[in-house]
Each structure stands twice: as C-alpha cells, then as structure tokens.
Amino acid sequence: MAEQRIIVEYSVESKHLTNTIEHGLLFSPYKRRFIRPSLRDKSRSKLVYKLLPGNYIEFKLFANRSSDYAHFSILSVRVNDENYEVKSIYDIELSLTVFRNAEHDQNAPPVLRDFIKMMPAYHSVAYVEMNEYNEDINSIIESIKKYLTEKTISE
C-alpha cells in the first residue's frame, strides 16, 4: 500500500496598491532558494503554496508609500501533519526608500536584493525567480539583520 503524502496549503499576501505594498515569499532552507507558489491568486492578492512537512522561512514586507514606512519580518514556518506553526525570527521598521534602495546596493545580501526585486508590480502579485544561494539560512538571516540594522542606524 502506497504511503499518502501530507500536503499543507499555506498562503502569503502579495499586492501592490496605490499606497500599500504587502509582499511575502517562502524560502526553502533545504533547497536554498525561494519557492515558486502553486497558485498566484490575483483576485485574493495571495500566493498559495502546497507544502510538505518541514521547515520554511517566510520573508514578509508591509509598506506604506505615502508615509515612506516599511515593516520587514523574517518568520519561521514549521509544517507538521496537516497544520503549521509560525514564529517570528526578526522584525524591523525602517524607511521604505532605504529598504527599496537595497535592491541596487552591491553590499546588500543577495537574498534581500532578490526579495525586493520580486515585489509585486502595481495591481499584481509577485512572480518568483528560482535563484539558488550558496549560504545556509542562518548566515542569510544574520547578514540581512546586520545590513538592515546598519542602514536603519545610519538613516
């Protein structure tokens, strides 16, 4: 008898309105890359993932363009038998301008630059590029923390 695979549905916000941007992507520490969603649901402004049990990292941005505000988070997503648990790893509030400028800063961590580059276009949802990274997830997270903290202090 074949073993049944458990698959859990998980979704992240992905929208770019006139003043508001909500951008979330899932990253696989095992594959060392962002995961392509199984569905890009423009009507609900979501990216929907079908996940096997394991550990994932969610990169999440909420931004308000009119007030030049950004809130960036890194979350741990642990998928178990038919459910998931989400825990915060890192949160920072900063200027949206400073955050977006990281896309063109060669000193910014490559994962952060790619996350920004994949932000949804106006009235659309994000499209995920499948770049692989050489660093392990802990090094990636630490480099993002260090970079954004330094940018916020120098702001």
Instruction: Give the per-residue pLDDT at 153.
Output: 82
* Other residues' Cβ atoms within 10 Å of the Cβ of residue 49: 22
List phi, psi (to 5°) of 90. Answer: -155, 140
The per-residue pLDDT string of the chain (155 residues; one tens digit each, 9 = 90 and over) reads 455 678 889 999 999 998 999 999 999 999 999 999 998 888 889 999 999 999 999 999 999 999 999 999 999 999 988 789 999 999 999 999 999 999 999 999 999 999 999 999 888 888 888 889 999 999 999 999 999 999 888 76
Q: Is 99 helix (H, G, I), strand (E, B) or coil?
A: helix
Q: How far apart are CA 103 and CA 20, in angstroms?
A: 19
Instruction: Give the per-residue pLDDT at 3.
Output: 58
Q: Are 5 and 50 in contact (CB under 8 A)?
A: no
Entry pTM = 0.92
Q: What does CATH list as the number for 8-154?
A: 2.60.40.2930
Q: Are 45 and 39 in contact (CB under 8 A)?
A: no
List phi, psi (to 5°) of 48. Answer: -110, 130
